Chain A
Amino acid sequence: MLQSFQRSTAFLPEYGFKDSDSLGESASVLAGTTISGLTGSLLTLLIISTVIILIIIYKHWRKRQT
C-alpha cells in the first residue's frame, strides 16, 4: 500500500520527470538526478545543522547544570 502511495506521489520516478515528453528520456533522467541531488543536499545540510544545533543546546544545558 505504501509502495503504491509512493508511486502515485513520486515527484521524480526513476530520477526522471513524470512529464518527460518534451525532453529526451536521458535528458529527463539527468535533470531529475540534478533535482534529486539538490534536494538531497539541502536535506543533508538541514540534518547536519540540526545535529550541530542540538550539540550546542546540550553544551549550554551542561554548562548551566555545572
Chain B
Amino acid sequence: MRNPRGAIRQIELLSLKNTFVHRIKPLQQFIVTLVFILIITSFDQYSVSQMLPMLLYPAVIIVLGEIPLRFIIRTILPVIPLIILFAIANAFFDKSEWVLLSGVTISAGWISALALVLRSLMTMTAILSFIATAGMNGLFSALEKLKIPDFFITLLAFTFRYIHLLMEEAGHIIRAYRLRSPGQEGISFQNWGPLAGQWFIRSYRRAERIHSAMLCRGLSEKIHQNYHDRAKLVDLTWIFFWCGYFILCRLFPIPLLLSKVTIGTGI
C-alpha cells in the first residue's frame, strides 16, 4: 500500500513545477475542473462513446502539466476495486437487453457499468490533475475567491497541513502496540475500537496544543493566501476554450458524427 505522506509530499512537489498549466490561475483551473465534472456526470447512463471526447482534457493537463502517469495510476488504484464493485452491481440490476451485433445481445447493465467506470476514472484524473498543478494552496485560494465561508477553508487547510501529524500519532500507536504484542500479525480485531479511540484522544490533545500555540502567535479565523493577482487573457481563454469544448461534447455526439463522416453511417 502506498504511503499517504509520500503522496501528499508528491502533490506539493508537483504543484511547484513551472509549466503552462501551472501558470494558469487556480480559480480558472478550478472552474474548468468543476464544469468538466458537472458535464461528465450529466451524460446518459449508457453514453460510453459520447463521453470519450472529454478524455482530451485530463490527457492535455497530464502532458502539459508534466504530471507523471504513474502518480495518477498509483493514487487512483486503491479506489478502483470499489468502482468495479459498484459497476458490477449495476450490471446485475439493469437487465434490459442491448443489441451489440446481429444476434449478439448483452445486458444493458454492462454498458452502464462501463460508462460508470469511465466516468469515475475521468473525474478522479481531472481532480488529481487539478491538485497536482494548482496545489492545495491553489485550491484554498480558489475557494476563497468563490466566497466559500472562511471557516470551511480554514478547516480544510488545517486538515491538509496537519494530516501528517495524525499519521504520526497513528504510527506511534501501532509501534507501541507491536512492542507490547510480539509475534502477532497485524492488529487483532477486538483492539481496533480502543486503538481508534486512543488515536482520536491523542490527536485531539495535540490539536489543542497546536491551536493554543497559534492563538499565542496571533491566529485569526481567516487564512490569507496572498493570491490577489488578476486573471490574465490566457486564463480567461483557458476557461472559454475548455468550457466551450465540454458543451460541444455534451450537445453533439462527436464519435457518431466522426463515424458518419468516415464510414458514411446515417445518410
Contacts and interface: CB of A to CB of B under 8 A. Distances in A.
Contacts of B49: 37-38, 40-41, 44
B262 interface: yes
In the complex, which range does the number of interface residues on chain A fall in? 35 or more
B81 interface: no
A17 B255 CA distance: 18
Contacts of A36: 256, 259-260, 263, 265-266
Binding site of A, secondary structure by majority: helix, strand, loop or mixed?
helix
Contacts of B234: none
A11 B100 CA distance: 17
B267 A34 contact: no
Contacts, number: 109
A32 B260 CA distance: 12
6 closest A-B pairs (Cβ-Cβ)?
A40-B255, A10-B264, A30-B99, A40-B259, A12-B265, A37-B49
A44 B99 contact: no
Interface in A21-61: 22-23, 27-28, 30-41, 43-45, 47-48, 51-52, 55-56, 59
Interface residues of B, number: 31
A41 B60 contact: no
Contacts of A43: 255, 258-259, 262
Interface string B36-79: 00000000000011001101100110011000000000000000
Contacts of A59: 63-64
A47 to B, nearest CB: 8
Interface string B244-266: 00000000011111111011111
Contact of B255 (A12, A14, A41): A41
Contacts of B59: 48, 51-52
